Amino acid sequence: MIVDDHAVVRGGLRYFLLAFEDITLVAEAGSGEEAIRLCEQVHPDVVLMDMVMPGMDGAEATRMLRERHPETQVLALTSFQEKDLVQRALQAGAIGYLLKDAQIDELAQAIRDAHTGRSTLSPGAAQALVDAAKQRPEIGWDLTERQLEVLALVVEGLSNGEIAERLVISHSTARYHVSTILSKLGAANRAEAAALAIKHRLTG
């Protein structure tokens, strides 16, 4: 399945892929939201996912697709190879990252490789990952959306019980989230976690 908000790009890819008898295009989507809906119907083996789209972007669509259809592999196909974009795509579950100027034979092989569980990275994407590995990660980079929600309530001074009530979760779940947040931030207590959240603007 091809996912791209530009019809010309989808048309070009559709035309090029006709040259390969072992690759069948089963669907096209013009947005991340449409990709999620279509995947429920056609269950593609591989999805070519544009990363920069209005509405739901490629990374979020990749994350949702992989959560709902772990058997479907996602291959990021984009014009951009910024470090943050590469990291977001791979963290969301993409098996590979290619640029749109890749040769069609290279793209076809990447689709075959994705189907068999092998990764393909453009040279630029690979270099972006190397560069990122050399840099110290920003504090809080590994907090999930739910943990950031809980952290915001910790900053407000809410107790575990109050957090559980506010988010409609169990007391034990709230306690688990707070414990995990302290661990990820390297904080000794809630007050230190709140101070770090404010200092590094983790909660907006």
Q: Using CA atoms, how far apart are residues 185 and 155, in angstroms rounded to an integer?
A: 14
Tokens of 111: 């689709």
pTM of the model: 0.65
Q: Using CA of residue 108, residue 18, residue 33, residue 70, what is the dihedral sign?
A: negative
Q: Using CA atoms, how far apart are residues 114 and 119, in angstroms rounded to an integer?
A: 6
> CB neighbours of 177 closer than 8 A, spacing ≥ 6?
146, 147, 150, 163, 169
Q: Using CA atoms, how far apart are residues 80 and 86, in angstroms rounded to an integer?
A: 9
Walk me through the domains of the chain, giving residue ranges and CATH numbers: 2-134 (3.40.50.2300), 145-199 (1.10.10.10)
Length of the chain: 204
Per-residue tens of pLDDT for the chain, all 204 residues:
999 999 999 999 999 999 999 999 999 999 999 999 999 999 999 999 999 999 999 999 999 999 999 999 999 999 888 888 898 899 899 999 999 989 999 999 999 999 999 999 998 888 888 777 676 667 898 899 999 999 999 999 999 999 999 999 999 999 999 999 999 999 999 999 999 999 999 986
Nearest to 79 by CA among 104, 98, 58, 53: 98
